[in-house]
Structures are given as structure tokens and as C-alpha cells.
Structure 1
Amino acid sequence: MNNRIIAGLLGIFLGDFGVHKFYLGKPGKGLLYLAFCWTVIPAIIGFIEGVSYLLMSDREFQAKHGKR
């Protein structure tokens, strides 16, 4: 089970490198973030995703990102 607080903080602070995507079990998207980490785009998207994870309820987060 993934923790939304950890995923949110990883997205905010390390979203530029896609660490939050690797944590959530999405290595393909994580590699995409990593490939474009030299641009500003993954950092902005990672920050927005991190904040959205923190604003979600636990139930909503697990429904969207929990292990299936």
C-alpha cells in the first residue's frame, strides 16, 4: 500500500526526477520524467501532482494509485 503523504512529498521535492512515479509503481512514467529532467516541465508537473496527492483523501488516493 502506497502512502499518499510520502508520494506527495516526493512529488514536490523530487518530482523533477520522477521519484514519485517510481514510488507509485509506474517506472515508465518515471523514466519519462528522468529523461526530461533537464527541462523545467517535469518539476512543474511533479509539484502539481505532489500537491494534488496531499489534497486527496486516503480512500481516493488508494483507489487511484493503490495496488490492484
Structure 2
Amino acid sequence: MTAPPYPQYPQGISDKSKVVAGILQILLGGFGVGRFYMGDTKTGVIQLVVTLVTCGIGSIWGLIDGILILVNGGVDGQGRPLRD
């Protein structure tokens, strides 16, 4: 019998908060900060590159992504749902 990886949380739920991820994504989403926090580095790097290439216009993606994270939740880099 093995212990769950995070004893304070039920197995299968991330230790990352969807509120923190959503707020970070809304405020600094153009730089992909919310995605980096969630462990989704691939999407974070893509958001950063899109924002730089479009001279900041691509940061709208981060704003919308942050709102969607707050409303629908999301998953961390390991595929576990974010906690409330």
C-alpha cells in the first residue's frame, strides 16, 4: 500500500489553485505566467512568443484564457484538475 503523493489533498487533485492560476493569467497572461504556474510550460512559452511577435496584441489570449480558467477550471501539467 502506497501513500498518495500529496497527503493534504485527495489523490487526483492538483496542489495548484484555479483562482491563483486565473488571476495570474488575467494580469500577466501575455507572458504565460498562469500557464507556467500550472506546469503547462509549452502553452506558456507559446503565449509569450505570440505576445512578443504581435507587439502585445497577443496578450488578449492570456486575458481570455484567465477568464476561462476561473470559470471552467483547468488541469495542471500532470493532467490533474486544479483545486478551488
Runs of 4+ with >6 A deviation: none
* 5+ long unaligned stretches in structure 2: 1-14
AA at the equivalent of 1:50: G
Higher relative contact order (CA 8 A, sep 6+): 1
TM score, norm. by length of structure 1: 0.75
Gaps of 5+ in 1: none
Scaled by the length of structure 2, what TM-score is found? 0.62
Larger Rg: 2
* Equivalent of residue 48 in structure 2, options 22, 34, 37: 34
Alpha-carbon RMSD across the aligned residues, in angstroms, is 1.6
Percent identity over the alignment? 34
- Bigger helix share: 1
For the residues of structure 1 that align with 2:16 and 2:75, how far apart are their CA atoms? 7
